[in-house]
């Protein structure tokens, strides 16, 4: 029988509207799991305030005083969703957690599958992924871009769990291995599957947000997709080499065409086509430099080796 102290890590950023609902629902769930001996009575909820500007931290502090399972951690400034997860997971394993579940504070992921996750852990599984059955709650645009992202990332050779975000259970041994990854450009959805193949899946239907607004606008989703590609593969740079070879072949064909017309005495026109070609090739060069620059920028961020986050305050029971 594996030890069963559970700490659920919930990153929060400006979640004052939904947080009271989340605290009540999660406390009720954890209380029922303890009563059924699924988890130990040392289990906790750890809310990580990722530099919120609203009353999020005040709500966490008040709940910590009034609720038996609620703990909190406040980051000094907004460090990003994945860094907040890492901060919470580190605190959880240092506090003696045998297993850690990460879930967003908006509770769009179905908390009712958490007991099933714990059952899988009890049976010996180290990672349990929460996977969406479908994406009916998404807009057409979000659904289409998500599918495009998964196809692209698979083409790049990156291993991902389809329709899985950051709702997962990990054993303490997996979390400790994960904490050894010190890279600044975190893409947990790609890193976690690299740690262990001893995994399982639980499936659920995602629900609508009960309050507040999404903290993942298009800009952040694009940034996440960029991190996913550039953190795990250099195929975009290799593609530039192939693109350069294609341009050389095209230029040789054009050279043959120009020489053919020159020796036949034909006047070579085409000022427009020349200008279009220059702009096209110039644009490709700029795109190529941008891709290379993205990798160089990541190297720059890594070699500085600055802390990924700064903890201002931690409230543990």
pLDDT digits (tens, 9 = 90+) for 225-280: 666 666 666 667 667 667 767 776 776 676 676 667 667 766 556 644 675 577 67
Strands in 311-315's sheet, in edge-to-edge order, are: 199-204, 127-132, 164-171, 99-102, 6-12, 44-49, 70-75, 311-315
Query: Which of 178, 211, 219 minimizes the C-alpha distance to 87?
Result: 178
The predicted-structure confidence for 66-77, as pLDDT tens digits, reads as follows 888 999 999 999
pLDDT at 174 over 60: yes
User: Could you please report the per-residue DSSP string of 213-282?
Assistant: --S--HHHHHHHHHHHHHTT--HHHHHHHHHHHHHHHHHHHHHHHHHHHHHTT-----HHHHHHHHHHHH
pTM for this prediction: 0.76
The predicted-structure confidence for 85-142, as pLDDT tens digits, reads as follows 999 999 999 999 999 999 999 888 999 999 999 999 999 999 999 998 876 666 666 6
Q: Tokens 């990672």 label which residue?
A: 127
Which range, of 50-59, 186-195, 212-221, averages the lowest pLDDT? Answer: 212-221
Rounded Cα distance between 240 and 43, Å, is: 51
């Amino acid at each position: 029988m594996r030890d069963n102290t559970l700490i659920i890590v919930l990153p929060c950023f400006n979640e004052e509207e939904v947080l009271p609902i989340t605290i009540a629902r999660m406390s009720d769930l954890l209380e029922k799991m303890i009563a059924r001996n699924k988890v130990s009575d040392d289990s906790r909820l750890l809310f990580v305030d990722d530099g919120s500007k609203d009353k999020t931290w005040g709500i966490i502090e008040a709940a910590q005083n009034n609720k038996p399972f609620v703990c909190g951690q406040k980051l000094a400034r907004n460090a990003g969703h994945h860094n907040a997860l890492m901060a919470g997971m580190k605190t959880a394993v240092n506090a003696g957690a045998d297993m850690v579940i990460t879930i967003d504070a908006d509770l769009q992921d179905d908390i009712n599958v958490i007991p099933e996750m714990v059952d899988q852990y009890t049976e010996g599984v180290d990672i349990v992924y929460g996977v969406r059955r479908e994406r009916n709650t998404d807009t057409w645009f979000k659904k289409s871009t998500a599918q495009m992202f998964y196809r692209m990332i698979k083409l790049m050779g990156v291993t991902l769990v389809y329709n899985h975000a950051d709702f997962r259970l990990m054993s303490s041994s997996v979390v400790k291995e994960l904490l050894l990854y010190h890279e600044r450009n975190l893409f947990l959805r790609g890193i976690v599957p690299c740690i262990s193949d001893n995994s399982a899946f639980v499936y659920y239907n995602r629900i609508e947000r009960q309050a507040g607004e999404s903290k993942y606008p298009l800009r952040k989703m694009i940034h996440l997709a960029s991190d996913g590609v550039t953190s795990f593969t250099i195929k975009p740079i290799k593609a530039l080499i192939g693109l350069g070879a294609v341009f050389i072949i095209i230029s040789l064909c054009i050279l043959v065409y120009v020489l053919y017309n020159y020796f036949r005495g034909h006047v070579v026109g085409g000022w427009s086509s020349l200008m279009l070609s220059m702009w096209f090739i110039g644009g490709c060069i700029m795109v190529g430099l941008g891709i290379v620059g993205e990798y160089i920028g990541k190297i720059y961020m890594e070699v500085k080796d600055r802390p990924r986050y700064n903890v201002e305050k931690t409230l543990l029971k």
